[in-house]
Structure 1
Amino acid sequence: MSATARIAGKVHKWLALLMAIQILFWFVSGLFFAVAPIEQVRSEHMVASAPSPDIAIGDAAAGLLRIGSAAPGERIEIRSMLVRPVALVSPREGRPRLYDLATGQQISPIPSALAVQIAEADYIDDRKAASVTLVTEESTEYRAALPAWRVDFDDDTDRALYVAQDTGTVTARRSTLWRVFDFMWSLHIMDFKNHENFNTPLLISATALSLVMIVAGIVLFPSRLGYNAWRRRRRRRLLSRT
């Protein structure tokens, strides 16, 4: 075995020993990502398909008059919430405001009881909410609009729906499958704290070491196949004929 092959063998062996666990995490998590349908991870198959009722222009205009004038730069969106027309007013800065078009009354921040109704209407199953909690800080499970109501359902998937307090919108759907997916993602990108940064020095270092291990394996490959030994035997045969 040549000196280069011996060095490559040592580098490959020790790096493989050092990186074995992380490489296993990469393969296991990658296989999980390939097998788990992303629609089920996001709970898209559990969203109730409730048709949105049409809102007449005259009714929308009358409702906006009840609300009053909007400040310059504010955006007004007419939508339906639990089969009733509402208007969402979004300023350039600050929190959005939600109004009932029928009465002109502001309904945001929405109370917990209304959040439960919204979550139960969004959930395709007939199960009722088991608990509701106000969320005011981001976590690895939820990074959308705050504050928000977390509505938990007592089912076999520990499903939780998040309803934004200012807009009355379901902003996230979580389940056991999603939490496993998120855990696998943290292992895959080696961000064990926030589960979202794939530019961490740890990941860059691990990837670089794995690349060196692969290159060392490629250098070692001819020796392991016996190619170098075959070349030496062939050289000796040629020298013996001269």
Structure 2
Amino acid sequence: MTAIRWPLLVRRTHKWLALFVGIQVVLWTVTGFYMVTVHIDYIHGDHLVRPAPGGAFSPSNLVKPTEVVASVPEATELRLQRLLGKPVWRAETSKMPVLIDAQTGTKLAPLTQAQVEAAARSVYTGDPTIVSTKLLTEAPLEMQTRKPPYWQVEFAGWNRPTLYISPTTGELISRRHALWRVFDVAWMLHIMDYDERSNVNNPLLRVATWSAVAMALSGAWLLFWSIRWRKKKKA
């Protein structure tokens, strides 16, 4: 029976593991470096939008909440907010929010493109030049976690700053830009979830991780064996 030549077996195992998982280890390093180098607040696009304006409205000039509830009996929640600088009542229902002009009591129709663009400009901090405005009924890749419909408003700029606006309330849903999109690709490569980009415990990642651990352990064993072998040969 032939004896197992452990150094040869471990060396071959280490070599094939390195071929299998080496590229992914490089990707882990590069993508991890990007994700820790660029500040997460910048990735989130906090610099693209300004804080919501403060200040209260005078209740004496507004429609009473009881009147709003009477006009929207299916409402489960009612709150006062702003829409393009004007007060509106927002009534939450099981289907979608209903906006009511807080000064006249009339129900508001879904926002027009002009109103959406005005709402986007009112919160955007950069160049107000809009290059594209679209009402989306299917979620793009960068908004897979958000259910449409919503307006996509893209502004001029090298980083393609994009705001997503609610068609019923005019509120900002999310913001995207070039460095966020790079981060999204880096995150996908880092966690090896090439479909939904959210599962950090997928089988492919687990296999690659344990393969990398085995590669590191086999490399450490070879280093230890090499040092001992050289000492023994010298003696």
Quickly name the TM-score band, shorter chain normalised: 0.7 to 0.9
Cα offset, 1:98, TM superposition: 2.0
Aligned-partner SS, 2:106: coil
Q: CA deviation at 1:161?
A: 0.5
Cα displacement string for residues 85-134 of structure 1 (whole angstroms, at most 9, x for unaligned residues): 1222212x212222221122222532222111111111112423222101
Aligned mate of 2:203, from 176, 201, 204: 201
* Contact 1:85/1:102, CA 8 A, preserved across alignment: yes
Q: Does 1:106 align with 2:107?
A: yes
Alignment of 1:117-156 (within 5 A): 117-142=118-143, 143-156=145-158
Query: Counterparts of 2:65 and 2:109 in 1: how far apart (Å)?
Result: 16
Of stretches 138-147 and 158-167 in structure 1, the one that deviates more from structure 2 is 138-147
Show the counterpart of 1:95: 96
What is the one-letter code of the residue matched to 2:38? Answer: A
Structure 2 Cα separation of the partners of residues 213 and 181 of structure 1: 28
1: CA distance between counterparts of 2:92 and 2:108?
14
Map 1:1-242 → 2, pairs under 5 A: 3-60=5-62, 62-69=63-70, 70-71=72-73, 74-91=76-93, 93-142=94-143, 143-224=145-226, 226-230=227-231, 232=232
Q: Which residue of 2 aligns with 1:240?
A: none
CA distance in 2, matches of 1:77, 1:3: 75
Any gaps of 5 or more consecutive residues in structure 2? Answer: none
Contact (CA 8 Å) 1:191, 1:197: kept in 2 or not? yes
The 2-side partners of 1:51 and 1:188 are apart by 38
Normalising by structure 1, report the TM-score. Answer: 0.85
Deviates more, 1:9-18 or 1:62-71: 62-71
User: Secondary structure of the residue that 2:142 maps to in structure 1?
Assistant: coil
Partners of 1:130 and 1:63 in 2: CA distance: 40
Distance 2:148 2:104 in 1: 26
User: Unpaired segments of 5 or more residues in structure 1?
Assistant: 238-242
CA apart distance, 1:71: 3.6
One-letter amino acid matched to 1:220: L
SS of structure 2 residue aligned to 1:141: helix
What's the secondary structure of 1:155's corresponding residue? Answer: coil
* Alpha-carbon distance in structure 1 between the residues aligned to 2:201 and 2:107: 43
CA distance in 2, matches of 1:108, 1:11: 67
Rg larger for: 1
Tell me the distance in 1 between the aligned counterparts of 2:33 and 2:87: 45
Checking the alignment, whether the CA contact within 8 Å between 2:75 and 2:91 is kept in structure 1 is no
Equivalent pair of 1:99/1:108 in contact (CA under 8 Å): no
- Describe the shift of the 1:3–1:77 C-alpha distance in structure 2 as closer, same or farther (beyond 3 A): farther
Q: Give the Cα separation in 2 of the matches to 1:82 and 1:73.
A: 23
Cα distance, 1:141 vs. partner? 0.6
Question: What CA distance in whole angstroms lies between the structure 2 residues aligned with 1:204 and 1:140?
Answer: 25
Q: Secondary structure at the match of 2:56?
A: coil
Contact 2:43 2:180 in 1 (8 A): yes
Q: Distance in 2 between matches of 1:108 and 1:170?
A: 18
CA RMSD between the two structures? 2.2
| Paired AA for residue 43 in structure 2 | V
Q: What letter is aligned with 1:3? A: R
Count of paired positions: 230
